[in-house]
Amino acid sequence: MADSALVNAWYRGAAWLWLLRPLELLYRVLASLRRTAFRRGVFSVYRCPRPVVVVGNITAGGTGKTPVVITLVNALQQAGLRPGVVSRGYGGRAPAYPVVVDKNSDPGECGDEPLLIHMATGSPVVVDPDRTRAARTLLDRFDIDLVISDDGLQHYALARDYELVLVDGERGLGNGWCLPAGPLRESATRLESVDAVVYRGGEQQGASFRYEPVGLTRLVDGEQRALDPALVGSEVYAVAGIGQPEQFFAMLESAGFRLHRRSFPDHHRFVAADFKDMTGLPVIMTEKDAVKCAHLAGPEAWSLGIRVDLPPAIIAQVCRLADTDGVPPG
């Protein structure tokens, strides 16, 4: 993720970003040419024998893709389907790829988000910077009906049958410029060619979702409790190593907690020293951080579970892909 000062400038529309406009125009042209080259066969594209669904975005930074992937995978499983997931594994660095994730995988190698997806769904997850190779491995190793790509909207070497794009409904697309003068990985017109756009929060028209907190889970033993300050203590340390920690903090404050905030960079590799000054009070963290901190944060460390209510029409469209050999439903 880019430096927070630059990110703030993108969404404030800072005037000095005009200095980066020549680079932005070059980036925009190159991104367009690259996509065109894949579409016209200049670069090779791998077509999976199973439908591929990409959950991605056109902005740099987090828009809540991983909770949406978890929700989508769970919904597909409830429909009797067998989805598998491929991921880049941001924040991880393995000695060799691909990596087939299991419950004992090191998040420092496979990445925190792929491990969370596997732990939350039980679905097979394969990590590889080369998503084409990840998809091939997934199909070779597991009997699946669909491939879900966690991020990868711009990874055009992997053909896709359905593109679901997430947009931050509160921040939108910032100043509307591409990198490095703005937050966009591709021009905003790219949204016109995807299958579905879903806004997280905000007051945008169209399909949307919000995070709903569902309770707390203690890291050391898995005990679950309601999100109630009376059950764990009203004053807590709130730990977040995610792209937009303010949303996490706001959920806890809305539930009545008094917070001592501790923010870390997205995909932060936690060590015991990060928690040495967090004594005498419970610690509450995100689920993504919790997969890295089970043995670091002490006996009264809890993760906050969240629920995402995806529009039923989108879930139905993705489910029908498995019955139509990857042909997007009308």
Q: Tens digit of pLDDT for each residue in 116-127?
A: 999 999 999 999
Highest mean pLDDT among 5-9, 142-146, 298-302: 142-146
pLDDT band at residue 170 under the 50/70/90 scheme: confident
Residue 328 lies in a domain: no
pLDDT at 62: 75
pLDDT, one tens digit per residue, over 238-247 is: 999 998 899 8
Query: Nearest Cα to 11, choosing from 152, 157, 167, 132?
Result: 167
Q: Are residues 277 and 161 part of one domain?
A: no
CA 77, 79, 84, 88 torsion-angle sign: negative
Asked if 137 contacts 98 with a C-beta cutoff of 8 angstroms, the reply is yes
**Burial (CB count <10 Å: 0-12, 13-18, 19+), residue 230:** exposed
Asked if 242 and 143 sit in the same domain, the reply is no
Residues 134 and 89: beta-carbon distance below 8 Å? no
* pLDDT tens-digit series, residues 246-294: 989 999 999 999 999 999 999 999 999 999 999 999 999 999 999 999 8
For residues 195 and 232, membership in a common domain is answered with no
Position 180 in a domain: yes
pLDDT band at 304 (very low <50, low <70, confident <90, very high): very high
Average pLDDT value for residue range 62-66: 84
- Specify the pLDDT at position 325: 53
Which tokens belong to 2?
A: 């880019």
**Residue 66 near residue 57 (C-beta atoms within 8 A):** no
Q: Residue 203 has what pLDDT?
A: 67
Q: With helix as H, strand as E and coil as C, how does 93-110 read?
A: CCCCCCEECCCCCCHHHH
Dist. CA 162–CA 53, nearest whole Å: 5
Residue 64 domain flag: yes
Is 257 a domain residue? yes
Residues 226 and 173 in one domain: no
Statement to judge: residues 253 and 195 lie in one domain: no
Query: Residue 323 — pLDDT band, cuts 50, 70, 90?
Result: confident
The CA dihedral of 100, 47, 317, 165, to the nearest 10 degrees, is 70
> Is 243 within a domain?
yes
Residue 81's DSSP bridge partners are: none
Residue 193 has pLDDT above 80, yes or no: yes
What confidence tier does 156 reach under pLDDT thresholds 50, 70, 90?
very high
- Number of neighbouring beta carbons within 10 Å of residue 119: 17
Q: Let me know whether 297 and 316 are in one domain.
A: no
Residue among 306, 271, 292 at smallest CA distance from 201 = 306
Cα–Cα distance between 116 and 68 in angstroms, integer?
Answer: 12
For residues 177 and 187, give the distance between their C-alpha atoms in angstroms, rounded to a whole number. Answer: 7
Q: Contact at 8 Å (CB) between 178 and 31? A: yes
The answer to the question of residue 186 being in a domain is yes
Are 154 and 49 in a shared domain? yes
Both 160 and 220 in one domain: the answer is no
Question: Rounded mean pLDDT of 136-165?
Answer: 97
128 is a domain residue: yes
pLDDT tens readout for residues 91-125: 899 999 999 999 999 999 999 999 999 999 999 99
* End-to-end alpha carbon distance in the chain: 36
- For residue 261, give the amino acid letter: R
How many folded domains does the chain comprise?
2
Residue 165: which of 190, 130, 132 has the closest Cα? Answer: 190
pLDDT (average), residues 165-179: 94
Confidence grade of residue 329 (pLDDT, cut at 50, 70, 90): very low
Same domain assignment for residues 143 and 29? yes
Tell me if 255 is assigned to some domain.
yes
Write down the pLDDT at residue 5: 87
Could you give the CA distance from residue 218 to residue 59 in angstroms, rounded to a whole number? 33
Model pLDDT, residue 1: 42
Mean pLDDT over each residue of the chain, to the nearest integer: 93
Residue-range definition of the domain harbouring residue 68: 4-208+311-321
Q: What pLDDT score was predicted for residue 64? A: 84
Q: Residue 238 corresponds to which tokens in the numbers above?
A: 């709130």
Q: What is the mean pLDDT of residues 22-32?
A: 97
Instruction: Label residue 67 exposed, middle or buried (CB < 10 Å: 0-12, 13-18, 19+).
Output: buried
Q: CATH number of the domain that 121 lies in?
A: 3.40.50
Co-location of 106 and 249 in the same domain = no
What is the mean predicted confidence (pLDDT) over 179-184?
97
- Supply the pLDDT for residue 53: 98
Within the chain, strands assigned E span: 52-56, 83-87, 99-100, 125-127, 146-150, 162-168, 196-200, 208-209, 211-218, 224-225, 235-240, 258-263, 283-286, 301-308
Q: Looking at the structure, tell me whether residues 149 and 270 fall in a common domain.
A: no
Are 166 and 198 spatial neighbours (Cβ–Cβ below 8 Å)? Answer: yes
Same domain, 126 and 251: no
